[in-house]
Structure 1
Amino acid sequence: MDEYLEQILAEMPDSALQDVVRNILDEPIPEAVKRRLLRPLQPRKYRPILPPRKAKERKRKAIQEEFDPIPLQNVYRSVGDYQEELQGLFEEPEELTFRRARWAIGNFLRSWKMDVPEGHPQGADPRTFLESVEPKIHEKLEEELRVLRGGLKFQLALKVELVKVNPDGSEEYFEPVLRHRQETVLQENEITAALEEETFPRLQETLEKLTHRGSGWVVVQVHTLWLDIARYQPLRGGSYIKLPNKLQDKKAVVNVKNKDDHCLRWALRSALFQVAKNPQRPTKYPQADGLDFTGIDAPTPISQIGKVERQNGLAINVFGWDEGVIVHHVSKQPKYMHRINMLLIQKAGKFHYTWVKDLNRLLYDQNKHREQKHFCERCLHGYSREDLLEAHRPECKGIGHTAVRVEMPPEGKNKLAFQNHHKQLPALYIVYADFEALTTKVEGPELDPAKSNTQRTQHHEACSYCYIVVRCDGKTEAPVEYRGPNAAEHFLRSLQEEERGIQEVLANPQKMRMTSEDWESHWTARRCHVCDKPLEGDSVKDHCHITGRYRGAAHSACNLKLRLSPKTTTIPVVFHNLRGYDSHLLMQAISKVEGRVSCIPNNTEKYISFSLGQLRFIDSAQFLLAPLDKLVAANKPETFQITARYEPDCTLLLRKGVYPYEYMDSWGRFEETKLPPKEAFYSKLTDASISDSDYTHAQRVWETFGCKTLGNYADLYCRTDVLLLADVFENFRKTSQKQYGLDPAHYYTSPGLSWDALLKKTGVELELLTDYDQHLFIEKGMRGGISMVSKRHARANNPAVEGYDPEKPNSHILYLDANNLYGWAMSQPLPTGGFRWVEDCTALAGTIKDQPADGPEGFILEVDLGYPQELHGHHNAYPLAPERMVVQKEWMSEYQHGLLGKGMASTEVEKLVPNLRDKNHYVLHYRNLQLYLRLGLRLRKVHRALRFEQSPWMEPYIRMNTELRKQATNAFEKDLYKLMNNSVFGKTMENLRKRVDVKLVRSHEEDKLRRLLASPSFARANIFDDDLAAVEVHKSRLVLSRPVYVGMSILDLSKTLMYDFYYNQLLAQYGDRCQLLYTDTDSLLLEIQTEDVYRDMGKHVELYDTSDYPREHPLHSAENKKVVGKMTDECAGRPIAEYVGLRPKMYSILEANGNNMKKAKGVSKAVVRKHIRHEQYREALFEKTTFRHGMDVLRSERHHIYGQRLHKVSLSPFDSKRWIAENGVDTLAYGHRDAIPAGTTEMNDYLDELLKG
């Protein structure tokens, strides 16, 4: 439930949540609520009121001033006058019923929908609504149990409309969909408890969290109820199954040889009535066992274990066996209750419960540490002592706090080095493709700009495609094109024909052809061209099976690894923006074709990649992070050889294409015989039309390529996109193979490619952690970049700025950015292996200051730090040692509480907050600790420390890319080498806990779906259409096989560069004349009081990269061009006039020349660029105003793509990361001695009065 609430909060408008307790009478009642909830109640005629006393008279006047008087004609009208109005109140409302929404896969997955009409009395309150429709839900579940002839899993989803009145009187709307986790029902008598004890309370709890404590959100009405049902044929324990031999040898399990289906009961008897001899015999146990199995099925599914526990006062854990012990169910009973451990074994679809009499014996041989005797039931990690286990329990995470078996790489197999030698060879075939779509209009009422809301405006339907197949030697066939109905299905079937043709070619490999140069190269070869290790007499000739060309001398084993199989060789199919767009079009058709389907998911509806047979669909935008037109512009004209091959006049096409996307809303458009007018090219997504030159270009293309209809033009546009994509990606592949010896076509994303390039270039062998507690320890130290507004407004005062006042001190605003900050950190000594706990932490505390930064040994420590109050003023703007925390409203200022009282949002989510509080159990890199201590923090205690070996092993790779970028002659290569440095960091941060496992199931795969639904790991199902669904399953194992210590060290070391520059360079130079205004990971926005900041920079030019300054600028120099860690002026010497910062990633910088740099997180770039002005940031700050803007986006729902119009909050003055002073500009870090929480002053005054009295 908490995870789902976090998802709702993330989707909520920025001003959605606030948590200040207010009197509800202070909140205006939204008009929408008045219309739905309030009914006129008429007062009786009354006798005249006697004149009140003076006190009462004062109260009466106060009331009259507060409330509008009721018109006398309403007071004195009789009830009869309202007969007509009252009549409508007693009319029978429309009956609410379920209707079929979506069914899939032989009715295994079924979704029912109940729509609530506008103004329906039952929809006014969610609690009342659920109570009123409970009989209908109950009836539908009973019906489904009968129809499905077995158990089911169900989930309720409730769409509600919320409204809030904002300070300006506008009403803001939000329509979240509240869900509860799946509930299992096997019998009709379980329905009531599932609804009333689990589902309804949890839904209500979620809603209360959204509307609690004066948030301002009020329920308008319930709109929709969904009842999602999955047919469930559970894994049940049954009659006796023989233990696997490996389990028998452990002698840790009692397996009763029962002949009935009550094996759970027999297993419990063996645990409760233990016998020493022949415990497997049922006759050893009493029939009168005192157990209550009322309403418990036999065989008993895992889903009923909780019920067994509650009815019998037991605590039961259930484990499973899958070539090792896995976790099925961990008891939620109080910790003081003794745990009974069960093992569920299976054979040929039959399951059987056994009692684990000795969990330690069962688990002790799961690794080489045989001394382990105490195991965590959540992750199955073992410890040698009970106190170590108890210390571990609070940190045990699992996946999303769900229990799962955690496995570490075994010792002896815990080395990570480059192994993907086959990815050095080019993919034999690759396909480049693109779709075009019709954008049919979705009719609906216009949105009210005063509200935050969402409206569908378009539906996207695939109408045409083009693809081209490129062979490893560059040969191609003519592009394949199609325009017509069912374009996605037609595309997949056409690709499958290509697949079969490629398989035939692979089944008949070409014989090797060697030139004299090849023979000479082979006989003189000393190293294997595959693994680059010495041949030492083991040499065979390796050749390409497609072209017959000799590739090089190789070890026989390496050569065998490159052997091709027609049935397993993958064929990459490349789309630009596959994940965000084209995949949804393909998924609408994938159920209509044969072939095995799998995916690498982000979630149930968005995929990094997916496969159909041997076709592997990948997204070029996951490598090249720019729109196609910008990638084309960044490449040299000679790059586009494939385009020139099929479009002789391609020069006209080597620029941004012009296409009327939103004009193409029907099939009839393709028959039009002339180019539509310029205004037809307007795009809602970019909120822009095309320029006159763009339209002229479109006309030239129409004429040059002989277009007779708009269909011809659309086909040319699609074909051109595919040819340009092929040339761009082929150039990317060639560059990558030249510089890194790897083909990107074998990878899914740039982080995967760059990680292998790093391992290959450096030859490093990293040691993977084998100790789970060491892994958890390092995870505690994972903290991202700092993003924070330290001062919310500043205006420069110097001769370059309008309004310069020479009577005031000169001041400048400087926006600095660290060159490739993470690249600098990756160039530092980093851990490689040799991890071991430090035994004497007290001794280490005394010597840690003296540990060399570049020594062969490093440390990660868990410490307590004191933050002395005398540092609060000096460190306020940029506190050291930031912490992940949930900011409490009690810490906030009167100013912030005032904004909350006006309807602005404060979300209770964890953030990285720099603060001045003392730190307890803080995990950090030793170089950070050294810096913090030099800057004045006090080390109070070292709790734990992890020692490791280190070296600057990533530095050669970072340096290589930096030099290649300097030497690059075009924008494409410059961006590529920058990407290869930046993206490798992402791989060091990979969090395997966040990976999800999604199975795509089609209509002919009922058996597959039945197994997934019956599995204890089943999480939820998402129905896309009648023939396709996605099933998300929990992982039974979590294998932590990533060097997370590298990512943690990089994150910490990057902070040392920023802190060191700020404190030891800037503050050392300027003292309190330098004020940090804003920071975001690698940037510092500064207000500096000095005569000439550029002259000051010239005195320390070795710290800066000024290569972007104009050549005529005195500071221009290429000396530090692109040098990692050097500071760059983001404005390249252009003076800044004013800055306004509202919150992290929401700021405006106005340059003296009028240029405006703006950010507004969550708002489309088109809106920020065209509709948000610097003056609005000022107004938001100084007038405490909230701004809303409309924007158009593309979103998918069940793989259908819709254009949507959003109205949402764009600018808000509320920020919770720091304590904000009453002027709204100055801020204090939390923990500052002067950061007085709201209400403290009043409370102190009150206490003083009490003491005086």
Structure 2
Amino acid sequence: MESHLYESVEPSVFYDKLENVLSTQSSAFKVNVALGYELVSKTGPDDTRYFYPNLANTYVFNKPVAINSKADIQKKVISEIRSMELADKLNYSSSGYTLKAITAFKIFIYHRDHTLGDSEAVIPKIIRENKHVINFPKTNNKCVFHCIAWHTFQSPKKDPRRIQAQVKEAFKRYCSFKGVKYSLSLFRSFKPIDLLQLDEVEDFFQLVINVYKMDVVSGNVECIRRSDKGYEAMDILSYENHALYIKNTDMLQSKYQCPKCEMVFVSAEKLKNHKKNQCELVNIESFPTEPTIYKPAHNTIRSLLTKYSIKDADQYIDHFIVYDFEAILKPTATQHGENTVFTNEHIPVSVSVADSLTEEVRCFVNDDPKMLLTDMFKYIGDVSVKIQQYNVNKYKSLPQKIINAHGLTGMEIPGVNLGKTYKISLGFGKQKSDYGKLKQQLDQVPVFGFNSGRYDINLIKSDLFAVIGTDNIKSVIKNPSYMCIATSDIKMLDISNYVPAGTSYDKYLTTCLGGCKCDGKIRCVCGLGKGLFPYEYITAFNVLNQTTIPPKSAFDSKLRGTSITGDDYKRVKFVWDYYEMKSIKDLLIWHNNLDVVPFIKAIKAQRELFKRFDLDMFADGVSLPGLSEKVMYQTCFNNLQYTDKKPANAFQFPAKRMGSYKSQDAKSKREFGMTLEHLDTLLQKQKYLYGLCYWQLTADTASADHINNNLGHIDGNILISCVKCNTARKDMSLKGFHIDKEEKDIYAKMKANIAGGPSIIFNRYAKRNETKIRGGKVCKKIIGYDANALYLWALGNEMPCGRLTTVEAYDGIIDDIKADKVFGFLECDIRTPGHLKDYFSEMTPIFKNVLIDCTDESVIGKYMFDYNQSRTPNRSKPARKLIGSYFSEKILIYTPLLKWYLCHGMEIT
């Protein structure tokens, strides 16, 4: 290790010195910086304390930063430090001291041995047998040159065992570049290339060299050196200081991409199935093979605690993180389309982050949105590690029981010492064992925002995925809102999805916490008081450096048409003085922090509501409807009474019943072939219990029930039931009311006929005591109606239920529909007779989705055609539209509606 101390220098001077020191390093290294600073007492300027720059006191980075290329110096170190608030990195001896100055910097450099050229390295089987990696034999410390020679050698018959000539040629060119005379002895004795030397290798061979490493236990592949130069890219795998050539990085990382639709799959088999059956489909539909009663997924942790008889912990994830962004409104006045002008652009400038474990609050301010996100997620990552450690300690006994129960080896549980035999890492998003399911629950830390799915995420999404990456990421999108974004470590949620629509943040806090109880609202410092900030006054980042309180008019909002009161402005002045603010930036930080501190308390109070139903709002749903559904099903299934399956007394099936079964089948023209011997055998197999409700049977209550009601009483189609259940079930199939694979054609037909409801606004000129209606009568009153309860009306009507079946049309089916003998849906052609078109002109009776060709005058009419043609740059294109019509072909009509159509004179053709 080496260190460089600089005292009595300004930060701007130090950055240059830091860059000079790091640029002179010739081999890969890690770096950290310690700060020396002086504190001064708030009570007296003579009381000062000096802290020497030492990593034990103050460090800029939480852990040393690895430098693997020259570009990393600027990207990972210089830019990072410049964007930091160094004052936040300091340790204050007490709250009675404040920072006077940062006066010293000490650079710590840790030299690493990361050369590429060890030909003696033992390559493990997982790499050696991977068909996407080439391991060159006997490279004699020149494995990098083997990779370059292979990559640049253009021959369809090249063999990795026979490229020595190309390797020597590449080495000779490199020697010439370095100004060294080539010789055979130099070729044989060449030293391995350090990772940091790859910069000059790239420039000479005009190749981008990206370096990856692999965890041989899990197979996970991670990039440790990525070059931003504009050359052709070459990827190599580094293992134990040996370089191997990567033929296809995506395949090595188990990313199988469809060349047509660009979807990515985790295995070649899934990609093959996709290309074979589903690539052309816009929507992929799947059906259960057999019908099942739907139940929402159980809480994973609760299920595991029950399965492994753990009683020393509950199912709830205790801790979480919250955040909130603030943005400036940069004037733009850009035209967007014909009738829209964007007056301002929202640019994120600050974000406050707090967590329920440490209850610490951090606010990051930066004029570069990407660097702002980098700081934010780096801090969230650090806090997540602490919360994950807490989760592991809470459920410490559970993973141990899982391992013992399954005899697992190779497990690694962070923070739990299980010995060296337990070591494995499980991928996120794959089929998991109990251990994998638990690990995902403990690793994924909930991160909440308020209205974040609609505003904050859309505010930052242009840089978000560049910062958090796109590997192992899942999202739930309800346009234009992000309901959930999940990675292996965090799950970003929006608390607005857990409250009624339209709930404001102030209303949320008031409901959960009761609001501010301070007597003087102006001097409130409880954290629940009103926060004020001049959003529209801040039009550029440098305005935040203003050292005076903005004028009262700065807090006015043209967008909302509001102004703050005199008391509100007095509160701004009080806050400015109370917190010793020096600039508007301090006001921004105070305001931003005010949005997250009470947020944590409110979420804790809200989740207690769901705990009454044994639900964890962090894990059991991403929205209020999802949690409500679980409450509904929970109530439904908890109220079910399960009968005792104790066998009943033996008896023989009554022979006198056989005659009634024969007459039933004869009347229904079904086959009869049931024997008493078969019924007695069924009774013995069912232990004299009903096969569905398990009630005990007697000779008086036993009944022979059909399994398939379309077939008669024949051996093999009989289930012994009780008379009550047999009567109640009538013509229902035992399979219930579910759409499964057998009924997918019916599902497709019904779905295709869902047209949607018309949204019609009749906006006609009308004037009281002047406009004439109903044959010349003067209109005396004008009333507007909004039919906003149509869903409730529809649900109150007769609904289809039971097993769906298809019946071919027969003579007389229309008469049966009119007589209410048939209930369901009829596929037919229907039209409105000519003499009734005027009657239906106010609202045409048929609604359907059809393709409207806007370029055809005969389809849309002359007026709309001419209008569309006049909109030269923005002409409407052909598209499917919901329209009202006088006719339709092969439309599926609900029989009560069809009956109404027929009664009002419409014709089935």
TM class by smaller structure:
0.3 to 0.5
Higher relative contact order at CA 8 Å, sep ≥6: structure 1 or structure 2?
Answer: 1
Whose Rg is larger? 2
TM-score by length of 1: 0.35
Higher strand share: 1
